[in-house]
């Protein structure tokens, strides 16, 4: 329902033109998944917190980016906007080496190498050699993407298993 027939007609046209209407299966999956979303997000956040703190104390890790740390530049905003701080984590290795970051990625067994996020499975990626590989190094560094930056999307697996996987991969 809208109070403007003109706006309604415009939106209806855009919806039909772009195909912005989910199919029946998509609707079914949304309705099914929404029932457990809160449980998945709770586990995602709990795991993220454990892994972020573990990474921060690792001798080979230089920086950890996770909005749940009070010294994170967006901590106050995250605290207002979120119930918890999620499982999206980025970290840099102290030696800042592309080769070492790639070695870490290839050594994980539970984290899947992927340029995605938000699923129930834990994912790992290396922007310098994946999503931002076509950007010149100087430009990448200037914008805060170091050679060794690794991104994690922490899933719902057992946190201790994920930490053990990172422990053996980082060394």
Predicted pLDDT at 16: 83
Full-prediction pTM beyond 0.75?
yes
Predicted pLDDT at 165: 98
Predicted pLDDT at 91: 98
Domain 37-170: give its CATH code. Answer: 3.90.1150.10
Walking along the chain (171 residues) 10 residues at a time, the average pLDDT comes out as 86 85 92 94 97 98 97 96 94 96 98 86 96 94 95 97 98 93
Are β-strands 123-125 and 112-113 bridged in parallel, bridged antiparallel, or unpaired? parallel
Pairwise CA distance, residues 149 & 125, whole Å: 9
**Domain range list for the chain:** 37-170
């Amino acid at each position: 329902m809208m109070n403007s027939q003109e706006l309604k007609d415009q939106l209806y046209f855009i919806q039909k033109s772009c195909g912005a209407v989910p199919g029946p299966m998509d609707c079914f999956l949304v309705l099914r998944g929404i029932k457990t979303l809160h449980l998945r997000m709770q586990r995602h956040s709990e795991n993220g917190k454990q892994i972020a703190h573990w990474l921060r104390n690792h001798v080979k890790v230089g920086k950890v980016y996770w909005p749940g740390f009070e010294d994170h530049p967006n901590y106050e905003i995250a605290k207002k906007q979120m119930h918890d701080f999620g499982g999206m984590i980025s970290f840099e290795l102290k030696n800042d080496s592309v080769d070492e970051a790639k070695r870490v990625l290839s050594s994980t067994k539970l984290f899947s190498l992927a340029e995605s996020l938000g699923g129930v499975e834990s994912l790992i990626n290396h922007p310098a050699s994946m999503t931002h590989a076509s950007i010149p190094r100087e430009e990448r560094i200037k914008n805060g993407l170091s050679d060794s930056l690794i991104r994690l999307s922490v899933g719902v697996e057992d946190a201790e298993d994920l930490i053990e996987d990172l422990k053996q991969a980082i060394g």
